[in-house]
Structure 1
Amino acid sequence: MKDILSKIIANKRFEVDLQKQAISIEQLQEGISEALAIRSMKQALASSMSGVIAEFKRRSPSKGWIRQGALPEEVVPSYVKAGASALSILTDEKFFGGSLKDIRTARPLTEIPILRKDFIIDEYQLYQAKIVGADAVLLIAAALEPEKCNELTEKAHSLGLEVLLEIHSADELDYINKETDMIGINNRHLGTFFTDVENSFRLAGQLPQDAVLVSESGISSPETVKRLRAAGFRGFLIGETFMKTEQPGETLQYFLQAIQ
């Protein structure tokens, strides 16, 4: 399958192998004791009036550069001030222009939960997430076999990290189990990058109603958030809508005011 996702995963395997050569997993394990305490993203979303997960994102494979010179030390405080419930920070460099340094920079600036958004395929990346101060990680069903997804979930939990499990279709419902902290519905197909917010509504009725549900990608209207909340969603991951503007924090502030 020669699609965007397969290219990203192939590159990710190459990246992780290089990282392991530079810093061994044993060295990462030694640094875990110094890592910061974890904040619960699941609880933050469940108790929030808005549930907006504001994303720090410089580029995407489909849109190219959205905000090339964006700095987390500028954007993150503005998101927090505006009232974000949680943060999502892209750490993939080649396709999204991010890095682990972005989380390390953002962590001392806020007490709200931070999601490491990346293509997690190896437990090595979980140790990285823990060390830089992430509170949760994204696991993408389309990028993992069910058994591997379960293994990574178990390992994340052992490190005190929560997991946002991302699915895109009913074919991936089997990935959901009692260990799943949050269920994300990606409205963007990772093979074609076609986006359709209605995907969240199509799958809503097939998801556990007691789960913390998150709608991801393509959300640009407060009215859409209101509809999604009525359908049972408690988290709304939004990046480009904010990042493409001159003042992402102000844009978020106006967006949240329109939801209320």
Structure 2
Amino acid sequence: MVSVLDSIIHGVREDLEQRRIAVGLEEIRARAAASAPALDAHAALSAGRADPQGVRIIAEVKRSSPSKGELAEIPDPGSLARAYQSGGASVISVLTEGRRFNGSLADLDAVRAAVEIPVLRKDFMVDEYQFYEARAHGADLVLLIVAALDDAQLQSFLTLTHELGMEALVEAHTEEEIARAAAVGAKIVGVNVRNLKTLEVDVAHYSTMARHLPDDVVRVAESGVTGPAVVADYAAEGADAVLVGEALVRDGEPAEALRRFRTASLVQEH
């Protein structure tokens, strides 16, 4: 049985081939080399547990998802990103996958031009071309999904990411995937509480997995945020940063919502 993740990656590879035809590998490498230096995403996300302003937030520009369908129209992703920045976001995540998330590299371009904080290209990275493409379009951080890559790919892509001056958010869902992320030297590790193979969400899963995270990595809790209480729980379990998408794009006042999330994380006593 083909999982949701496998189905998405199949489409990603097909769409990638069309972009590769339009802009060859050597050209995209040249564009990456000519781009402005990447911002320090690791520094932006570090020490979120000790931040007097609250846990760091990776705020996401996300139009649609496979599980929920259309979330928001977002006619001006740059304007939304500026609202996130004013609300205290540390990083802006931009979905660039088109078939299931209705994202694009144009969204990445618009956000990069609009904000002065690091930008994450959130996509299903399965080919070296995509890393040069990310850097060429101004990404400072890329997503590496452990479940989508074998160990050799994970190591190779992490090395390439760093060679290009970017950081990688290495996403895991299981104890075994966390161990694989640690084995290749991941510095930023996310625990996704949404199972990408079934799309089921279990916010308690972060607590279960957090105990297996290395002490020296930036810890990111991903998915499942429905309100400030979930952010507070993630922070209480040691998350340095929390990735929030749907709850922000559906809120009419995203900057204020983001401030509420950060403030809630300061109240961590149980």
Report the TM-score range of the alignment, normalised by the length of the smaller protein.
over 0.9
AA of the residue aligned to 1:63: K
Q: What's 1:12 paired with?
A: 12
SS of structure 2 residue aligned to 1:252: helix
Q: What's 1:218 paired with?
A: 224
What displacement does 1:178 show?
A: 5.4
**Would the alpha carbon gap of residues 40 and 250 (structure 1) be closer, same or farther in structure 2, given more than 3 Å must change?**
same
SS of structure 2 residue aligned to 1:220: coil
Structure 2 distance, partners of 1:32, 1:98, is 21
SS of structure 2 residue aligned to 1:134: coil
Q: What's 1:85 paired with?
A: 90
1:209/1:232 contact within 8 Å kept: no
Q: What's 2:210 paired with?
A: 204
**Would the alpha carbon gap of residues 96 and 217 (structure 1) be closer, same or farther in structure 2, given more than 3 Å must change?**
same
Gaps of 5+ in 2: none
Deviations 1:16-52 (A, max 9, x none): 1221111111011111232112112221111442211
Q: 1:254 pairs with 244, 252, 260, which one? A: 260
Q: What's 2:144 paired with?
A: 139
AA of the residue aligned to 1:45: L
Q: TM-score, normalising length from structure 2?
A: 0.92
Q: Which runs of 4+ in 1 moved over 4 A?
A: none
Comparing 170-179 and 214-223, the one that deviates more? 170-179
AA of the residue aligned to 2:28: L
AA of the residue aligned to 1:46: S
2:87/2:259 contact within 8 Å kept: yes
Comparing 168-177 and 239-248, the one that deviates more? 168-177
Q: What's 2:233 paired with?
A: 227
Structure 1 distance, partners of 2:160, 2:250, is 35
What displacement does 1:117 show?
A: 0.4
The alignment of Structure 1 onto Structure 2 pairs a total of residues equal to 260
What displacement does 1:73 show?
A: 1.9
Gaps of 5+ in 1: none
Deviations 1:218-256 (A, max 9, x none): 022323323322322101000101111223223223333
Q: CA RMSD in A?
A: 1.4
AA of the residue aligned to 1:185: V
**Would the alpha carbon gap of residues 259 and 203 (structure 1) be closer, same or farther in structure 2, given more than 3 Å must change?**
closer
* Identity across the alignment (%): 36
Q: 2:171 pairs with 151, 166, 177, which one? A: 166
SS of structure 1 residue aligned to 2:170: strand
Structure 1 distance, partners of 2:38, 2:74, is 29
